[in-house]
Amino acid sequence: MFGRSAPIAPLEYTRKLWMRSWVGLTLLFLYAPLLVLMIFSFNDSKRNVVWKGFTLKYYEKALNNDSLVEAMVNSLTIAFLATIVSLVIGALAAVMLWRFRFPLKGLVEGTISLPIIVPEICLGVAFLIFFAKVDWPTDLAWPLNLSAITIAHITFCFPFVAMVVRARLASFNKEEEEAAKDLGATEWQAFRDVLLPHIKPGLIAGALLAFTLSLDDFVITFFTSGPDTITFPVKVYSMVRFSVTPEVNAASTILIVLTVILTFIALKLQGVKGIAQTH
């Protein structure tokens, strides 16, 4: 790249050295902690700093730690369920706001975006009180014992889905829907054949966002989880709080790798540009 160095044009800011160093340092700041964590999850030492040799024993330990595995399974289950329901409700909300004029629309629109704005801690508190007040049973069998957390997750995930899908809807050419009807399609056929394919990228992006948000959430889960339902972030939290073990490194690395894999699946599905546009 530096070999054929044409003079730097005025707007080629990215080719300027200070700009490059700045971006490089920022990326270093963002990635160094994660990379160090991942590398040292293979370190054969209780203390994290000095490299003592390669080992997989902490992965073995993490995977044999039943409560950690259970927390992981719980988290993935919740994320999966929350994503599906958020996707349906969020898409419906988006279509409702995009399509119709109805009384109190401003109020409904504002309220839908509220869960995005209200601080997590307040939402967590609200669910804590709500589930206590309605006496939500806490001793149900799996996976029903996750219902309270899942409901809470859906509540803060679906507005994000609605936002992403609505942004996608804004670029929809209504004449396409009219063309379908003009060619004989019913309301439902036009929706299925024209509108749905158009918002598909939005749905994928929304699903991805919901899944990540749900998997990521600590605060709200912390307040809604019963004594026996532990999710991955809550588990890691207690491990970090009370006894830092290299197992956390191993478990975290697994989750990071999972995130990266998910990201690349999304990339495959809609291309780098698509991902860039939806955020």
Q: Is 23 in the site for another protein (CB under 8 A)?
A: yes
Angle at 127 between CA 124 and CA 132, to 5 degrees: 130
One residue of 43, 65, 155, 214 binding another protein per CB under 8 A: 155
Of 75, 74, 156, 151, the closest CA to residue 119 belongs to: 156
One residue of 28, 33, 60, 144 binding another protein per CB under 8 A: 33
| Distance separating alpha carbons of residues 117 and 121, to the nearest angstrom | 11
192: DSSP letter: I
| Distance separating alpha carbons of residues 211 and 158, to the nearest angstrom | 11
Q: Is 245 in the site for another protein (CB under 8 A)?
A: no
Q: Is 30 in the site for another protein (CB under 8 A)?
A: yes
Q: Is 57 in the site for another protein (CB under 8 A)?
A: no
One residue of 62, 78, 164, 248 binding another protein per CB under 8 A: 248
Instruction: In angstroms, give the least distance from the CB of 113 to another protein.
Output: 10
Q: Is 84 in the site for another protein (CB under 8 A)?
A: no
| Distance separating alpha carbons of residues 266 and 255, to the nearest angstrom | 16
Q: Is 276 in the site for another protein (CB under 8 A)?
A: yes
DSSP run (H or E) holding 185: none
Q: Which stretch binds another protein (CB under 8 A): 28-36, 59-67, 76-84, 135-143?
A: 28-36
Report how far apart the first and last C-alpha atoms of the chain are (Å, whole number): 30
One residue of 42, 58, 158, 160 binding another protein per CB under 8 A: 158
Q: Is 109 in the site for another protein (CB under 8 A)?
A: no
Q: Distances in Å between the alpha carbon of 222 and those of 234, 244, 270?
A: 6, 19, 34
Instruction: In angstroms, give the least distance from the CB of 96 to another protein.
Output: 5
Instruction: In angstroms, give the least distance from the CB of 30 to another protein.
Output: 5
Q: Is 173 exposed, middle or buried (0-12, 13-18, 19+ CB in 10 A)?
A: exposed
- Window 207-226: residues binding another protein (CB under 8 A): 212, 215-216, 218-219, 223
Q: Is 119 in the site for another protein (CB under 8 A)?
A: yes
One residue of 140, 145, 193, 245 binding another protein per CB under 8 A: 193
Count of residues that bind another protein according to CB under 8 A: 105
Q: Is 8 in the site for another protein (CB under 8 A)?
A: no
Among residues 140 and 219, whose Cβ is nearest to another protein?
219
Q: Is 114 in the site for another protein (CB under 8 A)?
A: yes
Of 113, 94, 77, the closest CA to residue 211 belongs to: 77
Q: Which residues contact 252 (CB under 8 A, 6 or more apart)?
A: 37, 38, 41, 236
